[in-house]
């Protein structure tokens, strides 16, 4: 049986890592096999490309070139981590995935949409998320949260962009969620963490039925 694939999306400091971890704990509590991963990165090759991208070394080559590098990292991550995990029936929770490229490089960076679509076909194929949780926080608040978490360390390539760029991201994520209601759910993530976590758990239960997946596994093993 194919596992389940959930991606977490949103602008800077919206709580993606926090909620991916909390959901992983809940699913592991049901004795499900959970792979918690992130992009860019998540595999040996992709972590090397992450360093190039977030240091800003690829920025002078423009958003098309950055999109190509994100896709190269994604292809390695999908081939070596995500697809094998789904094939063995695991639940994959990924902190950012294709919507990040669509929104950061595509909408805010204005990369050529034909390049973005072609790269998706090559790097992702049929390994699309079953559910994408889009965490919605005003950019001013998200950037403050991200800065507080960094505790004085310097901002990365994308955090350093002007507020206008982050406003574009915020609007683009809301539009993306609206355009794909079968896959995406927009979540008001300004609320306290425990309330956001409860809403996420309710959505996951309604859409993907983890309790039932656990029961089928137990039946298959007996």
Determine the interface stretch with ligand T5A among 13-21, 26-34, 170-178, 206-214 (rule: CB under 6 A). Answer: 13-21
Q: How far apart are CA 71 and CA 80, in angstroms?
A: 14
What residues form DSSP beta bridges with 93? 6, 36
- Tell which one of 15, 42, 106, 210 touches ligand T5A (CB under 6 A): 15
196 binds ligand T5A (CB under 6 A): yes
149 binds ligand T5A (CB under 6 A): yes
70 binds ligand T5A (CB under 6 A): yes
Q: How far apart are CA 80 and CA 74, in angstroms?
A: 10
CB of 219 to ligand T5A, least distance (A): 36
189 binds ligand T5A (CB under 6 A): yes
Q: How far apart are CA 16 and CA 38, in angstroms?
A: 10
Evaluate the omega torsion of the peptide bond into residue 173 and state whether it is cis, within 30 degrees of 0. no
Tell the residue number behind the tokens 């094939």, with chain if given.
Answer: 87
CB of 41 to ligand T5A, least distance (A): 7
Terminal Cα-to-Cα distance of the chain (whole angstroms): 16
Binding residues vs ligand T5A (CB under 6 A) = 10, 12-18, 38-40, 54, 70, 96, 100-101, 104-105, 145-146, 148-149, 156, 158, 189, 192-193, 196
């Amino acid at each position: 049986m194919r596992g389940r694939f959930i991606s977490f999306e949103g602008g800077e400091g919206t709580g993606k890592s926090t909620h991916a971890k909390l959901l992983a704990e809940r699913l592991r509590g049901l004795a499900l096999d959970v792979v918690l991963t992130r992009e860019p990165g998540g595999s040996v090759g992709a972590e090397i490309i992450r360093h190039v991208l977030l240091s800003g070394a690829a920025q002078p080559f423009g958003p098309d070139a950055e999109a190509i590098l994100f896709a190269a990292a994604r292809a390695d991550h999908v081939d070596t981590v995500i697809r094998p995990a789904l094939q063995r029936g695991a639940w994959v929770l990924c902190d950012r995935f294709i919507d990040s490229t669509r929104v950061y490089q595509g909408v805010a960076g204005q990369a050529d949409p034909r390049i973005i679509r072609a790269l998706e076909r090559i790097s992702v194929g049929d390994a699309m998320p079953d559910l994408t949780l889009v965490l919605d926080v005003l950019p001013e608040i998200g950037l403050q949260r991200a800065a507080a978490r960094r505790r004085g360390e310097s901002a990365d390539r994308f955090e350093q962009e002007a507020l206008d760029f982050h406003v574009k991201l915020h609007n683009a994520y809301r539009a993306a969620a609206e355009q794909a209601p079968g896959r995406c759910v927009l979540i008001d993530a300004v609320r306290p963490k425990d309330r956001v976590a409860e809403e996420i758990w309710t959505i996951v239960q309604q859409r993907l039925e983890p309790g039932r997946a656990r029961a089928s596994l137990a039946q298959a093993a007996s």
